[in-house]
Amino acid sequence: MPALSLSTKWKDLSISKKLYTVVGIMTVLVLSELLTLNYAMHKFSAMRAFIEGESLWSKAQKNAVINLQRYVISRKEAAYQAFQEDLRIPIGDHNARVSLLGPHPDVEAAHRGFAEGKVAEADIPGMIELLRNLYWVSYIKRATETWAEADDNLAELMKNAANYRAKILAREKLDPEEAFARITETNEKLTRVEVRFSSVLGDSARQGERFVFILLFTSVLMADGIGLALTFLTSRALSSGLRDMENAAARIGQGDYATKIAIKSRDEIGKVGLAINKMGQLLSETYNELENRVQARTLELRNLAEENARLYTEAQDALYHRDEFLSIASHELKTPITSLALQVQLLARLAKSPDNQNRLSDLAAKSLRHSMQLAELVDTLLDLTKIRAGKFELHRKTCDIGALIRDTSSLFATESIRQGCEIKIELEEPLMANFDPLRITQILRNLISNALKYAPGKPVLISAGTREGGILIRIADSGPGIPAAEQNAIFEQFQRGESHSGISGLGLGLYITRQIAVAHGGEVYVESEQGEGATFIVKLPLSNWPL
């Protein structure tokens, strides 16, 4: 029952908490392994230090025996002093052992003893900790007992050495062979003890290695087992829940709104399952209502579409009749206007007689100008009609843009004088290409006319040259400029700048200008800032029109 409760609690945990739990447990186990490994390495380091200390102890003891034998033979004080110096390492280790394993442990005295025994400073704390904390372990206990036995034998050697020195200093008789025999016997005892001590340390190292291996192996098995178990349970729950939701969503998508998901937990998967069940219920409740609304709306849209189709047909008919009217009206008006222009020209020639010459000449010039304006208006309406009808055509031929600019500018000689504007021309030579010269002339006339109209009394600069694979024509005036908000609108039908509403015109010139440029594969745009004039730029490509 407790296991079942724990399993239920685990299922009800949120996915994030499940992941955090798995990661937390794995982290604790890994940290435990690391701490175990660190503890083992620390103890092994202390064992290694004891083995090194035993090597120093053994070497010092052997050197002491040799120097004692030399002293017995030579009776020189230097040999005895060397014997005493060699014994400093074993004596230091003896003091360390006694300080730690006595009834009142003295860590500082033990530290000094190991230092006198030539133990590396970094190894001393570990050796002291090993003796203090693990003295009761069997192999540590055997090692310290062997160590104590070695100290006893060493004390015997020191006692014999003191007796020999006393006899030598008293000049008493000393049998060298007997002394050698006793020294050799003690040395052999020490050698056996040293071998036993090394064997104990080796056994302890092997046992410690097996213990650490078993401990680490067990920790790894626990970490991996727990992690895999929790991961398996979590992934299986997630996969099962997602699979149920996928199947339910597919059935709901096919119109089976009665589909339900079995809720197995209260985590995010369970909550999403509840949401899907509620969604299916809501869809089922609203489906019929939506169907009724869709049917009603479909009927309304069908009626509306039929009405729009009828209105669209009527509008198309109205546009067709309007364009047809404009086309007929333009052609009908052009004939009498042309006749009027011829008659006015004849009147101008007859007015050269001395009588009323000036008056007749002025009237004739005004009549001619008005008739030309009327003809231009008719041409503009005719072009607009052709553009709307899709019948706008170009008649290209090889022509010189520079010549067209000069010829068109000359047409405005009288107007430029009347407006007080000087027309300046800057051209690159040659500027030959395949264009419709009449249409290009129409572009130039519209733009030059606008420049004279909107900037009276100020110069107009016309420049042309090849740029970026095409011809670039710039017509710049020093007029009041065009606000940025109006620069796109002025190229639309019946549009003119709001700040110039007092100037006459239909607002079709720039629209037709752009249509002509686009028909040539080019473009027209304006660069202007209010109060600093305007520059209209015509780009006409060359690459598509080989000569």
pLDDT over 50 (residue 115)? yes
pLDDT over 80 (residue 360)? no
pLDDT over 80 (residue 516)? yes
Q: Using an 8 Å Cβ cutoff, are 491 and 427 in contact? A: no
Q: What percent of the chain has pLDDT over 70?
A: 71
For residue 432, what are the CA distances in angstroms to 223, 407, 410, 536? 87, 15, 20, 21
Contacting residues for 478 by C-beta, under 8 A, at least 6 apart: 455, 458, 459, 533
Could you identify the residue written with the tokens 């796109």?
Answer: 488
What is the per-residue DSSP string for 244-260?
HHHHHHHHHHTT-TT--
Average pLDDT estimate for 291-300: 79
Give the global pTM.
0.38
Contacting residues for 219 by C-beta, under 8 A, at least 6 apart: 29, 32, 33, 36
The number of angstroms, rounded, from the C-alpha of 448 to the middle of its chain's C-alpha atoms is 54
Average pLDDT estimate for 228-239: 71
* Of residues 76 and 359, more confidently modeled: 76
The DSSP bridge pattern shows strands 423-427 and 460-467 to be: parallel
Predicted confidence at residue 545, as pLDDT, reads: 47
Average pLDDT estimate for 62-91: 88
Q: Using an 8 Å Cβ cutoff, are 524 and 536 in contact? A: yes
Please, which pLDDT band fits residue 379 given cuts at 50, 70 and 90? low
- Residues 335-353 pLDDT 10s: 556 656 655 665 666 666 6
Average pLDDT estimate for 507-522: 85
pLDDT over 90 (residue 535)? yes
Dihedral over alpha carbons 491, 528, 411, 441 (to 10 degrees) = -40
Please, which pLDDT band fits residue 105 given cuts at 50, 70 and 90? confident
- Residues 149-170 pLDDT 10s: 888 888 888 888 888 888 888 8
Please, which pLDDT band fits residue 6 given cuts at 50, 70 and 90? low
Q: Using an 8 Å Cβ cutoff, are 121 and 112 in contact? A: no
Please, which pLDDT band fits residue 547 given cuts at 50, 70 and 90? very low
Please, which pLDDT band fits residue 33 given cuts at 50, 70 and 90? low
Please, which pLDDT band fits residue 185 given cuts at 50, 70 and 90? confident
- The lowest-confidence range among 196-210, 224-238, 488-502 is 488-502
Question: What is the residue-averaged pLDDT of the chain?
Answer: 76
